[in-house]
Amino acid sequence: MTSEKLQTGKPLPIIITSFTSGLTRCRIFSVAAASSNPTAAKAAVKVYFQDIEDIYQGALKKKGDVVLASYDQSVKDLNALRTYLK
């Protein structure tokens, strides 16, 4: 990838990552809204995406222990989320 900047002033990879993340969040929230318990499912989605944010922040700060702990928690939270999406 190039590091060229668009009109936003942000490098292209950041814009693509942001777009993909936003699209993913939107789709998962749509699925949660259609679940048997939308309120609980949406809450579980928020918790899961906070785990993903924690992984990202830990990686930026080069804190491997934070990344691993956040990953382990995200797996648990994703499994909890899946129970609402069946």
Residue 19: the pLDDT is 66
Averaged over successive runs of 10 residues, the pLDDT of the chain (86 residues) comes to 54 62 85 94 95 91 96 96 90
Q: What is the pTM of this model?
A: 0.74
The answer to the question of residue 5 being in a domain is no
d(CA 84, CA 21): 21
> Into how many domains does the chain fold?
1
Burial of residue 30, with CB atoms counted within 10 A of its CB: 0-12 exposed, 13-18 middle, 19 or more buried: exposed
The answer to the question of residue 24 being in a domain is yes
Residue 2: the pLDDT is 46
The answer to the question of residue 44 being in a domain is yes
Residue 35: the pLDDT is 93
Question: For the chain, what is the radius of gyration of the CA atoms?
Answer: 15
Query: Which H or E element spans position 22?
Result: helix 12-33
Residue 63: the pLDDT is 96
